[in-house]
Amino acid sequence: AQSVSQHNHHVILSEAASLELGCNYSYGGTVNLFWYVQYPGQHLQLLLKYFSGDPLVKGIKGFEAEFIKSKFSFNLRKPSVQWSDTAEYFCAVSTMEYGNKLVFGAGTILRVKS
Partner 1 sequence: DVKVTQSSRYLVKRTGEKVFLECVQDMDHENMFWYRQDPGLGLRLIYFSYDVKMKEKGDIPEGYSVSREKKERFSLILESASTNQTSMYLCASSPGGVMVSGNTIYFGEGSWLTVV
**Which residues lie near partner 1 (CB under 8 A)?**
4, 6, 9, 32, 36, 42-46, 49, 51-52, 90, 92, 94, 96, 99-107
The Cα 109–Cα 100 span in angstroms is 26
Q: In terms of CB distance, is 17 or 109 closer to partner 1?
A: 109
CB of 82 closer than 8 Å to CB of 112: yes
Number of H helices, E strands in the chain: 0, 12
Q: Pairing state of beta strands 4-6 and 23-25? A: antiparallel
Q: How far is the CB of 32 from partner 1 (least distance, A)?
A: 5
Q: How far is the CB of 46 from partner 1 (least distance, A)?
A: 5
Q: In terms of CB distance, is 68 or 106 closer to partner 1?
A: 106
Would you give the distance in Å from CA 13 to the centre of its chain? 17
Q: How far is the CB of 102 from partner 1 (least distance, A)?
A: 6
Q: In terms of CB distance, is 68 or 102 closer to partner 1?
A: 102
The Cα 32–Cα 95 span in angstroms is 6
Q: In terms of CB distance, is 92 or 110 closer to partner 1?
A: 92
Radius of gyration of the chain (CA): 14
Q: How far is the CB of 15 from partner 1 (least distance, A)?
A: 26
